[in-house]
Amino acid sequence: MALFNEQEQELISTAISEAEKLTSGEIRIAIDKHCKGEAFDIATAYFKKLGMDKTAHHNGVLIYLAHEDHKFAVIGDSGIHKVVPEDFWETTQIAMKAHFAGGNITQGLIAGISLIGEQLALFFPYQSGDINELPNDIIFMDQIKQNT
């Protein structure tokens, strides 16, 4: 059984699109079944692999989830990391974890996307001419690994 049905994937992609309407920042979701190691380390490697470190304002944020191992991480590029409150990453993870604990992965991701979008909009508001630098779809890393 797939982790997300088509409607859930659409809800997540729409949440990213809505959050990004208010900011020049970029939000992506990367999904694995298993995480061999620390979620933060895997997320950091994927961040670079997905080109998220190449955004114009270094304001990309990646939510990484290894759903079968119940591990996840939220990381941001240097631009956003410098300006958000010190406890922002932990607070975001706590909000997401509350949904995950109840078995609602989709709502957990949407909660994280919303919180991230609010901070990105605050520090990196949408500017005329901003372009969507990265796709808003969910990246299933297991599928990428199989195709490489």
How many domains, in total, are found in the chain?
1
Average pLDDT on 29-36 reads 95
- Residue 78 belongs to some domain of the structure: yes
pLDDT band at 148 (very low <50, low <70, confident <90, very high): very low
Mean pLDDT rounded to a whole number for the chain: 92
pLDDT digits (tens, 9 = 90+) for 84-124: 998 999 999 999 999 999 999 999 999 999 999 999 999 99
pLDDT at 134: 86
Residue 1, in any domain of the structure: no
Residue 50 domain flag: yes
Report the alpha-carbon distance of residue 125 to residue 119 in Å, rounded.
9
Q: Which residue has the higher pLDDT, 35 or 143?
A: 35
Mean pLDDT along residues 55-69: 94
91 belongs to a structural domain: yes
Q: What does the pLDDT average to over 66-90?
A: 94
Q: Is residue 39 one of the residues assigned to a domain? A: yes
Spatial CB neighbours of 79, under 8 Å, sequence gap ≥ 6: 55, 57, 58, 59, 124
Report d(CA 68, CA 71) in Å as an integer.
8
Q: How confident is the model at residue 53 (pLDDT cuts 50, 70, 90)?
A: very high
Q: What is the mean pLDDT of residues 129-136?
A: 82
How many of the other CB atoms lie within 10 Å of CB of 126?
A: 14
Structure token digits, residue 117: 């979008």
CATH of the domain at 76: 3.10.310.50
> Mean per-residue pLDDT for 52-61?
93
Torsion sign (Cα): 89, 91, 94, 98 = negative
Domain of residue 20: give its range. Answer: 6-147
Are the C-beta atoms of 137 and 40 separated by less than 8 Å? no
Helices 6-20 and 105-123 cross at an angle (nearest 10°) of: 10
